Amino acid sequence: MSPESLTVLGSGVVGFSVAREARLRGIPVQLLEARELGAGCTPSATGVLKAPEHRRSPYLDLRHLSWEDWPLLAKSLYEESEGLEVGFSLCGGLDLRDRTMKDPQQAIEKLYGSGGTVRVVPEAELKSTLPRVRRPLGDAVFIEHQAVVDPGALIKALTLSCQNLGAQLRSGLGSITLCSEDGKVVLKSETDIKLHEPSEKHPLVIAAGWESGFVVDGVREGQLPLEPVRGEAIALDIPAPPHIVTFDALLPDHPDPAGNRSRFSWIPAPDGSSWFGNSVGAKDSTNARDPQPTQAGKSHLVAAAETIFGDDVGSLVRGHWAGLRPKATRHGGPLLGRVKDVDGVWMATGHYRTGILIGPLTARWVVEAILGEREIPENFEEPSAGDLSH
């Protein structure tokens, strides 16, 4: 049965995509945002889209399906926003990580499921392709199925798409939470607006990033398994590389045996310059829930950039930004589907570092599930308390 209306909480790539998918099916939509539209972590991303190496889990399969869907999505948003490009470019990637350069053929063998061209790039070609790089180079690997999108343009296109499709967008509402009144669950904001009681006829989809858990805390036992993970990036006055460049920078004050904090990317920016970010931002427990960029984060990025560009990088920084990405604190990917023990309430959050890649497709899945057209794989459902693991 089709709902009479749908309320979406959150205006990042996931929230806007849920609203868009519902409007494409003719469902009246009201999108609510506590701050300004697009105020979450989407605009603070660096817009990297990568097909995974293989498809050996539901999450990796989701990422592949999302990758395959993105060219059509970019075209659709262009049409729905009356000509706004989102900056989608299949630029490919160069893998310069230490283990890859040590044995590039073995790295290629591990990429059997990524699709597209994967080949060894000889040292001489690599030096010609990346003349700005100052560190010693060897053979590397080129991976065709990597792309970039402009996160700011994406939010603008989604906003225009939703507006043109007839969604009602409401921002500046302050804190929005679910609470219990007279035995009923109601949605309330700091401003005086009329909101439907969540139900099967008027479902609510929570797509508020890492803050999604706060919305349901007052109406159920236990918290959603979510935590914020900082990501920071800098803009450099260095011409854009032709491909996304991924490399290791093992800094002495940031040991990381798993390789996440030592892995950095040099990214073609929309304006022809370049962006520089890392897989997981510098840890700082004092500002774990503050999305503002930090001096420690900037210093960490500059130090890593110096290992590839030389000591003059600090004078080439033209911008610095940060965001808090929603990480599901259980293995398996994002949190999708019904919120347990709260009728009429759904969730689409926990996308972590793949929000721009998989957010639009997961939004479609959630809307289709609300309409009874799809069952979301149980891997993405909210786990029982005993199933949680980091």
Q: pLDDT digit string (tens) for 329-345?
A: 988 999 999 999 899 99
- Confidence tier at 383 by pLDDT (50, 70, 90): confident
Q: Which two tokens stand for residue 319?
A: 């911008």
**Domain definitions of the chain by residue range:** 6-84+151-225+329-387, 93-145+227-328
Average pLDDT, stretch 273-300?
A: 79
CA 222 to chain centre: 25
Task: Tell me how crowded residue 373 is: count the other CB atoms within 10 A of its CB.
Answer: 10
Top-ranked range on mean pLDDT: pick from 39-43, 53-57, 253-257, 348-352: 348-352
Instruction: Indicate whether 387 pLDDT > 90.
Output: no
Instruction: Indicate whether 278 pLDDT > 90.
Output: no
How is domain 93-145+227-328 classified at the CATH fold level? D-Amino Acid Oxidase; Chain A, domain 2 (3.30.9)
Query: CA-to-CA distance for 108 and 142, rounded, in angstroms?
Result: 9
Q: What is the dihedral of CA 92, 98, 101, 106, to 10 degrees?
A: -90
In terms of CATH architecture, what is 6-84+151-225+329-387? 3-Layer(bba) Sandwich (3.50)
Supply angle C-alpha 177, 183, 188, rounded to 5.
20
Average pLDDT, stretch 241-264?
A: 76
What pLDDT is attached to residue 13?
97
Instruction: Indicate whether 386 pLDDT > 60.
Output: no
What pLDDT is attached to residue 11?
97
Average pLDDT, stretch 225-243?
A: 95
Q: What is the pLDDT of residues 51-79, one digit of tens each?
A: 999 888 999 999 999 999 999 999 999 99
Q: Which two tokens stand for residue 24?
A: 């494409």
Lowest average pLDDT, out of 126-140, 161-175, 240-254, goes to 240-254
Give the burial class of 95: count Cβ atoms within 10 A of its Cβ; 0-12 exposed, 13-18 middle, 19 or more buried. buried
- Confidence tier at 390 by pLDDT (50, 70, 90): very low
- Confidence tier at 389 by pLDDT (50, 70, 90): very low
Contacts of 341 (CB under 8 A, 6+ apart): 220, 221
Average pLDDT, stretch 259-285?
A: 81
Q: What is the pLDDT of residues 81-102, one digit of tens each?
A: 999 999 999 999 999 999 999 9
